[in-house]
Amino acid sequence: MTLYRERLWAPPSLYLATALVIPASLLVFLPISIVTGIIVAAAMEVGVLVLLWAVAPVIEVTDTEFRAGRAHLPRAVVGEVVPFHGAEATTQRGTKLDARAWTLFRGYVRPVVRVEVRDDADPTPYWLVSVRDPDKVVDALRS
């Protein structure tokens, strides 16, 4: 059963900025052919949008695991879970970050959640993951 799920979509401004690929590809291909330029521009824009969609990681908490992108952490080894907002989230991603920690950051998602890993065989002390609502992730992992 899924207790929490979100996809870390890029903000609309980033999708809008991808439109810059259209004039760039037109500049290159219009001297060859107008039709080719338009087709390549459209194809490149669609390709960039699909790529943005495909690389947006999913954060999910189920009854059995915590998943961040492609990584899975069994709930049995989840220790303390702490949410961070604002300046403290920035500090956790920067000066307080342990080099051994597993991270999944997106620059456009500022809050983070720190999930302690209680597994003697795993050298990773914790996961630090960007999430839009860390309090909901904490509640889901504590339930």
Note the pLDDT of residue 143: 83
CA dist 79 and 50 (Å) reads: 36
Per-residue pLDDT of 70-122, as tens digits, reads 999 999 999 999 999 999 999 999 999 999 999 999 989 999 999 999 999 99
CA dist 143 and 59 (Å) reads: 16
Distances (CA, A) of 11 to 22, 70, 113, 138: 19, 21, 20, 24
Predicted TM-score (pTM) of the model is 0.82
